[in-house]
Structure 1
Amino acid sequence: MAPPHPIIKPLFLLLALALLAPTGAAAQTRDVAGARDFPGVGRFARSVITGYEVKDFDAARMQAAPFKDGQPAEALRLEGKVTRIAYRSNAGPSILEVFRNFETQLTKIGFEKLLACDTDACGGIPFVEAIDALPIPQMWIDGFNYQYFAGRRTEGARETYASIVVSENNREIYVQLTVTETRPMENRMVDAAAMSKGLRETGRIALYGIYFDTDKAVLKPESRPALEQIAKLLAAEAQLNVFIVGHTDSQGPYAYNLDLSRRRAEAIAEELVKHYRIGAPRLRTAGVAHLAPVGSNGSEAGRALNRRVELVAP
């Protein structure tokens, strides 16, 4: 008797999850909090955003050619600002119809096709396994039935890459758009000496080295160097007390951003108390949403400046 194929177990798991997935009236009926369409691309009619993730600097994988013998033939590893958006459309349209709409729109706004393929032409299940997909149930990909597009847009020295994968689950169409705006990582580290200088001279210092996932108030591990510098500052200046103030850009409702900015400031204070032994009375927190911009919220560059944490002298 031949041993079981290694793909069988994952397929049974996927089938079980698919049977448990919500459908019809029980399914999600509105976009996830804080989500929005990518500018210039939009969405297929009557679909909702089921997953949304924006990172100012991250890595994304893109396939620029079909797989050969189950292996990537031209895999790109891209670094820069990465936006991942997953959509779900109700039963009715075909995978091909939704795919062609996105492909046409990306081409219309200047993306040159690198690859467009369907299941067999792409490389089947191994190809799907190499895609940076948002987790179930935000995004579903059937390895036996999908369409894929990858494109590149060049504007001067700036390159932007976009990919689309379209598939189906329980007769509903799922789409993931991934856009990578390539650029080098900015050095946003501010050390303890610079923090001290800013507080003395202007009463405040903006910090960009503290990271949270979109719409979350849980500190990411990459924040540790900045937190260590804050702790170093407070350890060296024992009489110094500070306000930790969270700021957001203007995307999303004001009340939501106000709460998010406050929770993020509180998360930083809690981390400093718990892991760096800074006395809690020395730290006060506040969130001001987008009420104190340092850049224009009408541009992505300005919004990136506005998403920050500040230390403020009492």
Structure 2
Amino acid sequence: MHRFVAVFTAAFVAAFPASDALAQNRDVAGARDYPGIGRFSGSVITGYQTKDFDAVRLQAAAFKDGQPTDARTLEGRVTRIAYRTGPGPSILEVSRNFENQLGKAGFETLLACNADDCGGIPFSEKIDALPIPAMWIDGFDYRYFAGHKRDGNADIYATVITSKNNDDIYAQLVVAVVGALENKMIDAAAMAKGLGEKGHIAIYGIYFDTDKAVIKPESAPTLAEMAKLLGGQPALNVFIVGHTDNQGSFEHNMTLSRQRADAVAAALATTYKIPRGRMKTAGLGFLAPVGSNATDEGRALNRRVELVQP
């Protein structure tokens, strides 16, 4: 399968228009190197993802008879960065540079192997990789590294998968800082405290499909807490204000943010019997960011609903 992917790439890349080809010579928007690790000279970042809490697969030993022998699932803050390097260096050269840099940063090797020693195609299919075209893995030709270090009370793991597509070398660095899930659920008491101290509070437990104003079912616990707040304080009137990130036009986001605020008010009135007159709605689009819209994390912070006390 991976060999087919590698052959398919030539036709896929040839289909890109000139503007896309130029974009491939720059880092993807919002991307940056991992602090203290950096990149191989001449590389560009083709894929970038960071999550406050996520799960990632790591292989700490080679496969035996096509099956894992020490597979680990790590949970915590996960950063994934994919790089492309032009023709010239070998897979080994790029990988060794990352391995040496990780060693200098304090990581001890758990596993370092080439395709055949790792376990061939079955091993490559279990690698946690960003999707094509950010990252390409040829199941017949790759190198894998996994390392670990202890930093204070934190366990930190790093993996590097390096492979080749046509004459370009692709490498993906994954760093996982193992940690517990932070409780970001805001209950009625926290909402009341935020309104009392600051006059507003951001609500992140209301979920919508991309570009839509239909509330998803998993929003129910947060809506229930909002209803508990309003039901427990009959004299409290609020503004419900929708906020978006900067993806799309100004006009579209202004409309979408207002529609989402309206949807929240409607749900509270219909399902929880909160008088509609106690809730005014507004939409500010991306005019009041709390994070940078140049990064995934910032955009996630900006997509929110806020309660505001008049």
Shorter-chain TM-score tier? 0.7 to 0.9
Mark the runs of 5 or more structure 1 residues left unpaired by the alignment.
Answer: 1-6, 248-255, 293-302
- Distance (whole Å) between structure 1 residues aligned to residue 193 and residue 145 of structure 2: 50
**Aligned residue in 1 for 2:260:** 270
Question: Across the two proteins, how many residue pairs are aligned to each other?
Answer: 282
| Aligned: 1:289 with 2:289 | yes
| Uncovered stretches (5+) of structure 2, i.e. residues with no partner | 269-275
Identity in percent:
47
Rounded Cα–Cα distance in structure 1 between residues aligned with 2:75 and 2:255: 28
Residue 232 in 1 paired to residue 227 in 2?
A: yes
- Counterpart CA distance in 1 for 2:217 and 2:226 is 16
What's the TM-score, normalizing by structure 2?
A: 0.76
Deviation digits for residues 79-105 of structure 1 (CA, Å, limit 9, x no counterpart): 000111111111111111111110000
Using a 3 Å threshold, how does the CA distance of structure 1 residues 209 and 18 change in structure 2: closer, same or farther?
A: farther
TM-score (norm 1): 0.75
**Matched residues in 1 for 2:191 and 2:156: separation?**
35
Question: Relative to structure 1, is the Cα distance of residues 88 and 226 closer, same or farther in structure 2, using a 3 angstrom cutoff?
Answer: farther
Match of 2:64 among 65, 68, 72: 68
With 152-161 and 228-237 compared, the bigger mean Cα shift is at 228-237
Of the candidates 129, 134, 143, which is equivalent to residue 133 of structure 1?
129
Q: Does the 8 Å CA contact 2:257/2:282 hold for their aligned counterparts?
A: no
Correspondence for 2:28 among 29, 32, 40: 32
| Structural RMSD (CA) | 3.9
Equivalent residue for 2:13?
A: 21
Deviation by residue 1:5-49 (Cα, 9 ceiling, x = unmatched): xx5xx7545533443225997361111111111111111111111
Q: 1:29 to 1:19 in 2, by over 3 A?
A: same
Which residue, out of 39, 51, 54, partners 2:50?
A: 54
Deviation at 1:208, TM superposition (A): 5.1
| Larger radius of gyration between Structure 1 and Structure 2 | 2
Which secondary structure does the structure 2 equivalent of 1:173 belong to? strand
Corresponding letter in the other structure for 1:240: V
CA gap of 1:233–1:31, structure 2 versus 1, over 3 A, is farther
Q: Which residue of 2 aligns with 1:295?
A: none
Q: Is the 8 A contact 1:149 1:164 kept in 2?
A: yes
State the Cα deviation string for residues 120-145 of structure 1 (Å, max 9, x = none): 01000000110110000010000000
Question: Is 2:96 aligned against 1:104?
Answer: no
Q: What is the CA–CA distance in structure 2 between the aligned matches of 1:24 and 1:113, rounded to whole Å?
A: 42
CA 1:71/1:116 → structure 2, altered by over 3 Å: closer, same or farther? same
